[in-house]
A and B are shown apart, each in its own frame.
Chain A
Amino acid sequence: MLVSEPISGAGAVARAEPPEAAPSRVGSNLGFRSDDVPLRGERLCLKLGGRRVVDEVSVALREGAWTAIVGPNGAGKSSLLSLLGGLRKPNAGQVRLRGRALADWPAAARARQIAWLAQQGEAEGDIAARDVVRLGRLPHHGLLGAPGPADERIVAAAMAETECDAFADSRLGELSGGERQRVLLARALAVEAPVLLLDEPTAHLDAPHQSALVRSVTRRSAAGAAIAVVLHDLTLALAADRVWLMVAGRLLIDTEPDDPELHAALVDVFDASIAIERLERDGRALHVVRPLI
Chain B
Amino acid sequence: MPAARVRRRRPAALVALSLTLALVSAAGAARARAAPYSITDDRGVRVSFERAPERIVTLLPSLTETVCALGACATLVGTDRFSDWPESVSELPKLGGFEDVQVERLYALEPDAVLVATSTRVIDRLESLGLTVVALEPRSLADARRAVGVLGEVLERSGEATALLDRIDARVRAAAERVPPAWRGARVYFEVSESPHAAGESSFIGELLGLLGLDNVVPASLGPFPKLNPEFVVRSDPDLILAARRNAERMEARPGWDEIGALSRGHVCGFEERAHDVLVRPGPRLGEAAEVLADCLASLPPRGGAER
Whether the complex brings A and B within 8 Å at their CB atoms is answered no
Identify the B interface with A (CB < 8 A): none
Q: Footprint of B on A, CB under 8 Å?
A: none
